[in-house]
């Protein structure tokens, strides 16, 4: 058994300080979702940054692991492969993630292929957003026929997954007031379809266009999270099986499932009890956010930003500005604890207690059938 990967996995200093960029590549979107946290930034004229500006940003960034391309609808940019290539070349990214509403299945499959063939060592994930069965999904997304198109996208992407070992498909579902009562049935349906490698869930966040979308009853939300864990465990185990061996695989199973439970507990606590995280938020340290118009922020939910054009798109200089440093300090104080999966995940991964004590403990309780 190789011991080096296990030591690296258990090391406290396991990743560079900067680990993930969330990049809103466009403000255009062909959907009108009633739970969208980004709806104020959407518009047909909001094209996104030029490849030239992106090249400068990337060249002035450190090496980092994960690029999350967001929007708007990122797949409306057919130069997405060029954008990924820029970050692969300059920042040696190891994985790229593309969320999509799945409305243009042929174009989405073409982009998935082009990105996957850039480098077989790059893990490429397309996350198709589906919020429930046809009627509810179409209603939430504000597009008639959106569900059928999203399912066609899953089938088209499955074909890509057969061609490229480095490609995987996830479904993302936003839990909101209009779908919470069908989440478990829908999760079981997607699982039984055999089309996807994972299914993830996010409680509606931010300030959606319709206030009522956030009215998910506390007790039901907790019950949903508890029922989702075993369903998601099967995905996590099979993903781990593809990539890990021996003791590392055993540890990852404990860590992945324990972290999932920990995240759900935090999301439920913040959402329905006004609780705070039991580790600091590392927004602005481990993760940064660039909007379609070049505004740089520590996360999508805070308003303060610096404009990269004021720094000639030099990321390093903008990142070290007083505004961003002050925002980092504020994030650590828990004044704005939220339910954002990426930031809870990063904070927990970098926290000794959460990672090495709480996650294994939660896994043990779960295996013993004890609830929370
Ligand atoms: S949630 Fe995504 S797909 Fe829906 S309107 Fe917002 S940006 Fe577009
Ligand atoms: S806790 Fe949430 S809102 Fe506050 S800085 Fe972190 S990610 Fe942003």
Residues 187, 369: Cα–Cα separation, whole Å: 21
Give domain limits for the chain.
18-216+283-350, 218-279+351-372
pLDDT in tens, 257-273: 999 999 999 999 999 99
- Residue 238's pLDDT is 84
- Residue-wise pLDDT for 214-265, tens only, equals 999 999 999 999 999 999 999 998 887 666 667 788 888 899 999 999 999 9
How do strand 198-203 and strand 295-297 relate by DSSP bridges? Answer: unpaired
- Give CA–CA dist 185/329, Å, rounded: 42
Using CA atoms in the order 354, 360, 361, 364, what is the torsion angle rounded to 10 degrees?
Answer: 160
From 338, 346, 350, mutation site for ligand 2 pocket: most ligand atoms within 8 A of C-beta: 338
Q: Is the pTM of this model over 0.85?
A: yes
How do beta strands 95-100 and 198-203 pair? unpaired
The pLDDT score that the predictor gives to residue 7 is: 53
Nearest ligand to residue 329 Cα: 2
Cα separation of 6 and 235, whole Å? 22
Residue 72 Cβ contacting ligand 1 at under 6 Å: yes
Q: How confident is the model at residue 17 (pLDDT cuts 50, 70, 90)?
A: confident
101 CB less than 6 Å from ligand 1?
Answer: yes
Cα(229)–Cα(372) distance, integer angstroms:
12
Distance 98 CA to ligand 2 centre (A): 21
**Among 13-22, 34-43, 71-80, which is the least confidently predicted range?**
13-22
User: Could you say which of 3.30.70.20, 3.40.50.1580, 3.40.190.10, 3.20.20.70 is the CATH number of the domain covering 18-216+283-350?
Assistant: 3.20.20.70
Q: How far apart are CA 246 and CA 211, in angstroms?
A: 48
Instruction: Name the closest-CA residue to atom 1, ligand 1.
Output: 36
Check residue 13 and give its pLDDT: 42
Judging by DSSP bridges, how do beta strands 287-290 and 295-297 pair with one another?
antiparallel
d(CA 372, CA 364): 12
Which residue's CA is minimally distant from atom 8 of ligand 2?
299
The residue whose CA is least distant from atom 4 of ligand 1 is 33
Tell me the pLDDT of the chain averaged across its residues: 93
- Which ligand is in closest contact with the Cα of 287? 2
User: What is the pLDDT confidence band of residue 171, given thresholds at 50, 70 and 90?
Assistant: very high
**Residues linked to residue 21 through DSSP beta bridges, in sequence order:** 67, 288
Is 33 a pocket residue for ligand 1 (Cβ < 6 Å)? Answer: yes
Mutating to test ligand 1, I would choose from 38, 108, 140, 206 the residue with most ligand atoms within 8 A of its C-beta, which is 38
- Residues lining ligand 2, Cβ inside 6 A: 281, 283, 298-299, 301-302, 331, 336-338, 340, 343
β-pairing, 295-297 vs 306-307, is: antiparallel
In the chain, where does DSSP find H-type helix?
4-10, 51-59, 80-91, 105-116, 134-141, 146-163, 183-193, 218-243, 246-273, 315-319, 322-331, 341-349, 352, 359-367
Tell me how far CA of residue 144 lies from CA of 33, 137, 156, 253, in angstroms: 12, 9, 20, 40
Query: pLDDT confidence of 5, banded at 50, 70, 90?
Result: low
Name which of 249, 278, 250 is nearest 263 in CA terms: 278
């Amino acid at each position: 058994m190789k011991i080096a990967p296990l030591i690296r996995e258990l090391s406290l200093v396991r990743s560079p300080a900067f680990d993930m960029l969330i990049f809103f590549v466009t403000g255009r979107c062909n959907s009108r979702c009633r739970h969208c946290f980004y709806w104020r930034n959407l518009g047909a004229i909001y094209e996104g940054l030029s490849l030239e500006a992106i090249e400068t940003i990337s060249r002035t960034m450190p090496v980092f692991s994960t690029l999350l391309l967001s929007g708007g609808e990122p797949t409306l940019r057919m130069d997405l492969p060029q954008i990924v290539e820029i970050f692969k070349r300059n920042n040696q990214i190891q994985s790229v993630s593309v969320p999509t509403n799945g409305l243009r299945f042929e174009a989405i499959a073409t982009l998935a292929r082009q990105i996957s063939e850039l480098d077989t060592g790059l893990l490429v994930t397309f996350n198709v957003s589906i919020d429930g069965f046809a009627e509810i999904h179409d209603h939430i997304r504000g597009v008639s026929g959106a569900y059928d198109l999203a399912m066609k996208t899953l089938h088209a992407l499955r074909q890509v997954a057969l061609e490229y070992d480095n490609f995987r498909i996830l479904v993302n579902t936003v839990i909101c007031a209009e779908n919470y009562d069908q989440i478990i049935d829908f999760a079981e349906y997607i699982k039984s379809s055999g089309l996807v490698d994972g299914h993830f869930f996010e409680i509606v966040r931010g300030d959606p266009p319709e206030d009522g979308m956030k009215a998910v009853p506390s007790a039901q939300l907790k019950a949903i999270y508890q029922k989702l864990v075993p369903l998601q465990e099967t995905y996590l185990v099979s993903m781990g099986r593809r990539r890990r061996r021996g003791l590392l695989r055993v540890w990852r199973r404990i860590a992945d499932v324990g972290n999932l439970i920990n995240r759900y507990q935090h999301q439920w606590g913040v959402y329905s009890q006004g609780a705070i995280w039991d580790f600091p938020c590392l927004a602005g340290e481990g993760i940064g956010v660039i909007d379609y118009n070049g505004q740089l922020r520590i996360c999508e939910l805070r308003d303060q930003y610096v404009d990269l054009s004021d720094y000639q798109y030099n990321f390093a200089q903008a990142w070290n500005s007083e505004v961003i440093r002050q925002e980092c300090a504020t994030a650590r104080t828990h004044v704005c604890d939220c339910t954002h999966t990426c930031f809870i995940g990063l904070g927990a991964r970098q926290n000794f207690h959460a990672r090495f004590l709480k996650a294994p403990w939660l896994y043990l309780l779960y295996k013993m059938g004890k609830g929370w």
